[in-house]
Amino acid sequence: MKALCLYGVRDIRFENVDEPQIKNDCDVKIKVKAVGICGSDIHRYSQLGPYVKGMVWGHEFSGQITEVGRAVTKYTKGQKVTACPALCCEKCDPCKKGRYAQCEELSVIGAYRQGAFAEYIVLPENNVVALPDTVDYAEAALIEPSCVALHGIYNAGGIQPGSTAAVLGCGTVGTMAVQWAAISGAEKIIAIDVNQNRLQTALKVGADIIINTAGKDPYDAVCEMTGGKGVDFAVEAAGTAETSAQVLALPGKGGAVIYMGIPYSDVLINRFHFERIVRNELSVHGTWNAISGPFPGREWETCVHFLGKGILKTAPLISRNVPLSEGPEVFAAAADKYTDGKIVFRP
């Protein structure tokens, strides 16, 4: 089959690889219909390189079942599905407690096991998630990042109806956080970014106020919009060293910060931003991946439900659908230029 394989930094190849086969009775084989590029994929392509040289990678996808193992009971051939890309050991203490995102051996497809930038993929039955027939494959490929955003909100105890929220960074996960804040009943949602196109998308899917903070600290703008009170919840979804510090100043007294982004450099926090944690008695929540117990977690059930009902909207986030064969060129361009939306491959 054809697949995208990562050999090194800026070394991705579209080539023939062995088609994966069912080896275990609980395996499910899926024809990949749509697979998105994650921000972490771009970082791995441009800066980090692969875990295993030549690995088929990619983890945000949807597809159709073509074959099931003898012990599979929940799924049948021809069914439309997505899948949780996380692989847990199920033996460590966090796994035994159902805290799968904290698994000591947590991995994701595309790291040490073939990923979804390919024509086919094989995964355990427990990772597979059924989709309504009405959901488009490309839209379903964005369920995983939507679950990432929702998992972070769950970690913070949820966003309460009537509350205020600010989302710093409006890429895919940030824009999903905007939507979950809206679905949760937040009264005022402030979307913050340095890219006007991303801000316009956030406005379409639920933001009440958009702020372009190119060249300025978002603290002043949020204070202006909230009468100096700050917000109840502040989400960091940009994943930069600068925004990881700035987000601490956005909540008001007793507020919460939810870290969803991952900076790829040291975070230096000045006194003003750090002091907000103490003086405002903030709750600071880290969040990782998109899984909980029972595996893969209520995040997946909730996302599929709201997407199927047309309440959660992923289509506005998709900028392009392209053939998988264009992968090398697409990644090279994405690494050199700030992308405005989700790029989805169609194998």
DSSP per position, 7-21:
EETTEEEEEE-PPP-
The CA distance from 109 to 88, in Å, is 11
Give the list of residues 6+ apart from residue 283 with CB closer than 8 angstroms, or none.
156, 255, 256, 257
The domain limits of the chain are 2-145+290-346, 157-286
Task: State which amino acid sits at residue 45.
Answer: Y
The pLDDT value recorded for residue 251 is: 98
Whether residue 105 is predicted with pLDDT greater than 80 in this model: the reply is: yes
The pLDDT value recorded for residue 270 is: 93
Asked if 116 and 59 count as a contact pair (C-beta separation under 8 A), the reply is: yes
Asked if 71 and 26 count as a contact pair (C-beta separation under 8 A), the reply is: yes
- pLDDT band at 338; cut points 50, 70, 90: low
| Residue 83: half-sphere exposure toward Cβ, Cα within 13 Å | 34
Whether residue 169 is predicted with pLDDT greater than 70 in this model: the reply is: yes
Whether residue 240 is predicted with pLDDT greater than 90 in this model: the reply is: yes
Per residue in 111-152, pLDDT tens?
A: 999 999 999 999 999 999 999 999 999 999 999 999 999 999
**Alpha carbon distances (Å) from 211 to 67, 215, 216, 218:** 48, 12, 11, 8
pLDDT over 70 percentage in the chain: 99
DSSP per position, 180-244:
HHHHTT-SEEEEEES-HHHHHHHHHTT-SEEEE-TTS-HHHHHHHHHTT--EEEEEE-S--HHHH
Whether residue 18 is predicted with pLDDT greater than 70 in this model: the reply is: yes
The pLDDT value recorded for residue 232 is: 98
The pLDDT value recorded for residue 231 is: 98
State the CB neighbour count (10 A cutoff) for residue 12.
Answer: 23
The pLDDT value recorded for residue 264 is: 85
Domain 2-145+290-346 has CATH 3.90.180.10: yes
Q: What value does the mean pLDDT take over residues 240-267?
A: 96
Q: Is 83 left (phi over 0), alpha (psi -120 to 50) or beta?
A: beta
Strand pairing class (2-8; 283-286): unpaired
Whether residue 107 is predicted with pLDDT greater than 70 in this model: the reply is: yes
> Domain spanning 157-286: which superfamily?
NAD(P)-binding Rossmann-like Domain (3.40.50.720)
pTM of the model: 0.95
